[in-house]
């Protein structure tokens, strides 16, 4: 039984969403779930606490709080409001007072447009994107950044606490999504800088593992040096679990935040340009750690 008697819905059972639903189940929440990929329900076969309503509207009617964990804000909008003119989304079945919790990495600008549209129907919206990746989704230690009305945030906090160790209320609607975009910008910039330093050091004769060990006990330490180089970049497994295309999407969202704030964000633009070039060359589906492989390739071309 969910805290406060809230019935929970969840849309999006991908690499992050699936483990998050399992954390909700471990905390005692029954979940009405939806996903466009039928195969993703196999992981919940035999679990009577995970049900699958026949439509998004039926899921909306079955839940008081509905979590979305989807690739981008446009998809979230379509899922919540339905296809244009069709009225076949979650909102078609949701009762006044119900709340949507968008945990996707959506555009904060789009979130601030969607919020008033839902409010006009008597529905709430909270943006609550996460940081920590698949590993922390599995063990329930995600960091969650929450934007929205204080009453709505406190209402859904027990549900969020089942999925994350740290839940921060960042301010009004859209601030959670803005915080996530800026966080991923810092992550992307750190990986890019570390990748360039890594390649320079190797060519100068430094051992890869030695460089990483020194960075991790010095001022050069960042998330990439701590958790990405030894398992994914040095052995060239390229399997951190987050795509290059999604990183580029988040970087472009960070630029939207800069534009909305009136900031030129020159370094963010340069960083986004390099990542976008890597996506154009390698494809959006490769792991984001392959940005280092892209740097290797363009360096080799420069020497030719």
Active site residues: 180
272-283 per-residue burial string, b: 16 or more CB within 10 A, e: under 16:
bebbbebbeebe
Rounded Cα–Cα distance for residues 118 and 200 (Å): 51
Rounded Cα–Cα distance for residues 102 and 145 (Å): 11
Rounded Cα–Cα distance for residues 151 and 162 (Å): 19
Q: Give CA angle at 247 (159, 99), nearest 5°.
A: 25
- CA distances (Å), origin 38, targets 13, 34, 41, 60, 278: 10, 9, 6, 19, 32
Rounded (to 5) percent helix, strand, coil in the chain: 55, 15, 30
State both tokens at 86: 């069709």
Rounded Cα–Cα distance for residues 259 and 154 (Å): 30
Rounded Cα–Cα distance for residues 99 and 83 (Å): 20
Question: How would DSSP label each residue in 119-131?
Answer: HTTT-EEEE--EE
Rounded Cα–Cα distance for residues 48 and 221 (Å): 45
């Amino acid at each position: 039984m969910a805290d406060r008697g809230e019935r929970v819905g969840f849309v999006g059972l991908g690499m992050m969403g699936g483990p998050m639903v399992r954390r909700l189940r471990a905390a005692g929440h029954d979940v009405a779930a939806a996903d466009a990929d039928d195969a993703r329900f196999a992981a919940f076969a035999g679990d009577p606490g995970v049900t699958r309503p026949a439509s998004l509207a039926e899921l909306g009617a079955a839940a008081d709080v509905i979590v979305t964990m989807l690739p981008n804000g446009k998809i979230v909008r379509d899922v919540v409001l339905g296809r244009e003119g069709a009225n076949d989304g979650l909102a078609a079945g949701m009762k006044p007072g119900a709340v949507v919790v968008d945990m996707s990495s959506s555009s904060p600008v789009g979130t601030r447009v969607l919020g008033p549209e839902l409010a006009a129907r008597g529905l709430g919206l909270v943006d609550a994107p996460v940081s920590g990746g698949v590993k922390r989704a599995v063990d329930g230690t995600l960091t969650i950044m929450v934007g929205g009305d204080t009453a709505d945030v406190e209402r859904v906090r027990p549900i969020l606490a089942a999925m994350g160790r740290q839940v921060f209320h960042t301010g009004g609607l859209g601030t959670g999504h803005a915080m996530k975009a800026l966080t991923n910008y810092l992550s992307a910039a750190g990986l890019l800088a570390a990748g360039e330093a890594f390649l320079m050091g190797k060519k100068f004769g430094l051992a890869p593992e030695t460089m990483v060990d020194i960075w991790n006990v010095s001022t050069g330490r960042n998330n990439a040096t701590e958790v990405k180089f030894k398992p994914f970049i040095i052995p060239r497994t390229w399997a951190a679990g987050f795509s290059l295309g999604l990183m580029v999407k988040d970087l472009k969202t960070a630029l939207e935040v800069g534009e909305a704030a009136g900031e030129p964000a020159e370094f963010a633009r340069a960083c986004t340009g390099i990542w976008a070039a890597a996506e154009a060359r390698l494809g959006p589906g490769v792991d984001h750690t392959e940005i280092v492989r892209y740097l290797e390739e363009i360096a080799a071309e420069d020497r030719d």
